[in-house]
Amino acid sequence: MTKIQVITIILLASLSFLFACEPTEQKAEKRVATFPERAADMTVYEVNIRQYTPEGSINAFAEHLPRLKELGVEMLWIMPVQPIGKEKRKGSLGSYYSISDYSEVNPEFGTLEDFKALVKKVHEMGMTIILDWVPNHTAWDHPWIQSNPEYYAKDSLGNITYEADWEDIALLDHT
C-alpha cells in the first residue's frame, strides 16, 4: 500500500468518524420527546364538566374548545366523568371521586359516544387530553364491593373503611 493510499484511508476514516459524531445539542433536537417531557411545557386547563356550562354536559363543553385553543390551552385536564355513587353520597350531587363504575360515563354529562367525540375533537385541534383519576377508592355502590370485597381496606372488625371524613368513598387496599 502506498503512502498516499494510507493517508487517503486515514482521512476517509477520520471524516466518517467526524460526521457520525454530532454535537450533543443536535442529537437532543432530533430525539423525539416522550409525553411527560412534552407535557412539562404545555398550558394545562382543568375542566369541570358539571360546572363549565349551564347544561353541565360534555357536548355543551365541546362548543367551547375553539375559545380554549385561542387562549393557548394545549392540554385539557378533565375531572372525573364516571358515574358518581349514590350510596352514602355527600349532598345532592356527590363527589366526583366517589366513582361507581370506572368504565362508564356519568349519564348527567352525556354518553360514552359523546365523550369519545370530545376526545376526537380535542385531538383534531392539536390539543391533548388527560383524565383525573384517583385509584385509591371507589363508591360504596361500586360492583367490587360485592364481587371483590378483598380489594378494600378493612378495620379491626372487618368492615370496609374510608379516609378521614370522606364517608362517601370505600378505601381500596393496595397491599
In terms of DSSP bridges, do strands 75-78 and 128-131 run parallel, antiparallel, or are they unpaired? parallel
Round to whole Å and give the CA distance between 75 and 46: 9
For residue 123, pLDDT over 80 is answered with yes
Indicate the pLDDT class of residue 145, thresholds 50, 70 and 90: very high
Identify the pLDDT of residue 24. Answer: 53
What pLDDT digit, counting tens, does each position of 16-74 carry? 444 445 555 555 567 787 888 888 889 999 999 999 999 999 999 999 999 999 999 99
Helix, coil or strand: residue 1: coil
Q: Read off the C-alpha cell for 56.
A: 353541565
Q: Read off the C-alpha cell for 172.
A: 381500596
**Of the CATH numbers 3.20.20.80, 3.30.2130.10, 3.40.50.1000, 3.40.50.12160, which one belongs to the domain with range 42-171?**
3.20.20.80
Instruction: Find out whether 79 and 47 touch, Cβ atoms under 8 Å.
Output: yes
CA 49 to chain centre: 15
In the DSSP assignment, the letter for residue 85 is P
104 vs 2, 17, 82, 100, 139, CA distance in Å?
78, 57, 6, 9, 14
What pLDDT digit, counting tens, does each position of 72-107 carry? 999 999 999 999 999 999 888 888 899 999 999 999
